Amino acid sequence: MSRLFVVFSVRQFRRQYSSSRLSEIGRFQVPKTQGKYEGGQLFLHKIFGYRGVVLFPWVARVYDRDREAKDDEKNFEDNSGFNNIGKELKADLQTYYQTLIDTRDSPFIRTQPEIVTFLGQERDNSLYTIPGLDYVSHEDILPYIISDPFTKPINHELFDKFLSPEPGRVPPFTCKDSLQAWHEKNHRWLELTDVHRETTNQIRVTVMPFFMGAKTTQPSANYWWRYCIRLENLGPETVQLRERHWRIFSLSGTLETVRGRGVVGQEPVLSPQQPAFQYSSHVSLQAPSGHMWGTFRLERPDGSTFDIRIPPFSLESKEEETPPTNIIA
């Protein structure tokens, strides 16, 4: 196995402090092509480069529109997304992992560490955030073993609560009962069921929607969802996200249009050196279900712009359910 260096942090430190040093953290392992990673597995994120640890797996339905033939790639209207929502797509079952992000790397990565938010249950309408969590596909896991088994490999307030060292084991950390209990308690808000992908002009958009809960105010209720979006530049040209255009359909019969500059107050640049950006946002409906779709407008270095599709995705509320047990490897 080859040595592993923290090259992902070095790039950021060079930009901000003009001086840097390499720090060895361990040795790469051969990525798994069969089976799943166990809880306690340390990894580098293939796209964002942060240090992380696997907590437990999810099995998600991945709807990849890139596999579907597109009759009109260049000329499309915003309402084409709505017309295609009912189009049956064959979903592939793929493994994603709930992971912890090392807090030392959070300031230097192009993804929001506050991805998981949910509403309090029953009459508690407070908004809760669980910082430093992520959802990582199996293919984005680069597993490694730490050099010093006596050092804490990941800085995160939940690491010691959920994992305990077990020298001689691979991975050398095991899941505590507290992790299983936490998973069962928050299963409804954490569960990843569907992933949607679509690529336009070499820019791939991936969407992961999650139900957050409902706020009840007589005589009606507001249902809330969060959605995580990743943009990836698969081409050689640098582009910048300038605008977003959303269409939001509610089962109550309303259709809302939302336009604005950038996303979450940013207009990220997607370059060959830093091709990806990930963020999360929220939406509410006065109905238990609906759909969203839309476009992002990107700008090339010469000032010309083009639109890319946001794949349509469903917003579904979840009934109270008993979470599965014994899923932690």
Q: Which two tokens stand for residue 29?
A: 């392992």
Distances (CA, A) of 13 to 47, 111, 167, 221, 244: 18, 17, 33, 47, 31
102-127 tens-digit pLDDT: 999 988 888 876 667 777 655 556 67
Task: Pick the last residue of a domain from 137, 159, 192.
Answer: 192
Question: What is the pLDDT, as a whole number, of residue 1?
Answer: 44
Residue 277 and residue 136 share a domain: no
Cβ proximity of 195 and 208 under 8 Å: yes
- Measured over the CA atoms of residue 91, residue 257, residue 73 and residue 297, the dihedral's sign is negative
Contact predicate 312/196, CB 8 Å: yes
pLDDT at 315: 95
Name the domain boundary from 157, 192, 227: 192
Same domain, 67 and 121: yes
Q: Please report, rounded to a whole number, the percentage of residues in the chain having pLDDT higher than 90.
A: 61
Residue at 78 is within a domain: no
pTM assigned to the model:
0.84
Q: Token digits for 45?
A: 């994120």
pLDDT digits (tens, 9 = 90+) for 159-208: 999 999 988 888 889 999 999 999 998 888 899 999 999 999 999 999 99
Residue 313 lies in a domain: yes
Count of structural domains within the chain: 2
Q: Summarize the confidence of residues 206-228 as an average pLDDT.
A: 86
For residues 69-77, average pLDDT: 46
Q: In the prediction, which pLDDT does 84 show?
A: 54
Single residue among 192, 209, 229 that ends a domain in this structure: 192
- Could you tell me if 3 and 118 lie in one domain? yes
